[in-house]
Amino acid sequence: MQIRQLGEIMLTLQDYHLTLHDVANHQPAYLETVFSLANGHFGVRANDPITGNPIAGTLINGFYETAPITYGEAGVGYAKA
């Protein structure tokens, strides 16, 4: 088992598990971000629905559309297919 310090987070590198005991900052917004579910492209920020935190959301990183773009008419600033 390897232990590394990353800012306020103590990373325990054991089969890529990060537990609550590894995180020094226990503020809800910080924990929601650290424990968000993501695959590197799409992420869902985990939050407690009871507290009514307004910063929940879906995060998109490095998303590129590969389908051809079709517009009804030509226009300035439209992407070219």
Q: Please write the tens of the pLDDT for every residue from 14-42.
A: 656 667 776 777 777 777 777 666 566 66
User: Which tokens is 53 given?
Assistant: 């935190």
Instruction: Give the model's confidence band at 75: pLDDT under 50 very low, under 70 low, under 90 confident, else very high.
Output: confident
Check if the beta carbon of residue 32 is closer than 8 Å to that of residue 53.
yes
In angstroms, the CA 60 to CA 68 distance is: 20
pTM of the complete model: 0.37
Question: Could you tell me where the DSSP H helices lie in the chain?
Answer: 28-34
The values of phi and psi at residue 46, to 5°, are -80, 130
In which residue are the tokens 């809800």 written? 28
User: Which tokens is 71 given?
Assistant: 């517009």
Q: Compute CA 56 distance to the chain's CA centroid, rounded to the nearest angstrom.
A: 11
What percent of the chain has pLDDT above 90? 0
In which residue are the tokens 């910063």 written? 55
- Domain residue ranges of the chain, discontinuous segments joined by +: 2-60
pLDDT at 3 over 80: no
